[in-house]
């Protein structure tokens, strides 16, 4: 029983490690994609059919807020702005 208990623990350890590795790879890639956006023009498609474009500045790590500059809104340009990520459906840019 000692053997099967320890091999079960091993199997759990391996599964946990696989899960952690997958999470790390996915997260590192996502952080890289945010870094790649810095200083680039980004188009945001938001709820209620709102479309805006801005120069991307930075994101907080919880992906709740984007700091942007020269935000082109339907009613004019806002020099500095924060976008709430829950307002956004998609955003896109070229690299």
Question: Interface residues with other proteins (CB under 8 A)?
Answer: 16-36, 45-50, 52, 57-63, 65, 67-69, 71, 73, 78, 80-95
Q: Which is nearer to other proteins, 3 or 47 (CB)?
A: 47
Please state the closest distance from residue 1 (CB atom) to other proteins, in A. Answer: 28
Q: Which is nearer to other proteins, 8 or 25 (CB)?
A: 25
Q: Which of 28, 52, 51, 56 is nearest to 40 (CA)?
A: 56
Q: Which of 28, 38, 45, 35 is nearest to 69 (CA)?
A: 38
Burial of 7 (0-12, 13-18, 19+ CB in 10 A): exposed
Please state the closest distance from residue 21 (CB atom) to other proteins, in A. Answer: 7
């Amino acid at each position: 029983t000692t053997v099967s208990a320890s091999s079960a623990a091993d199997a759990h350890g391996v599964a946990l490690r696989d899960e952690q590795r997958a999470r790390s790879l996915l997260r590192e890639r996502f952080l890289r994609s945010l870094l790649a956006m810095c200083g680039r023009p980004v188009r945001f498609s938001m709820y209620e059919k709102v479309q805006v474009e801005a120069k991307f500045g930075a994101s907080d790590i919880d992906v709740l807020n984007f700091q942007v500059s020269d935000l082109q809104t339907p009613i004019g340009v806002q020099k500095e702005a924060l976008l709430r990520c829950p307002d956004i459906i998609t955003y896109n840019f070229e690299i």
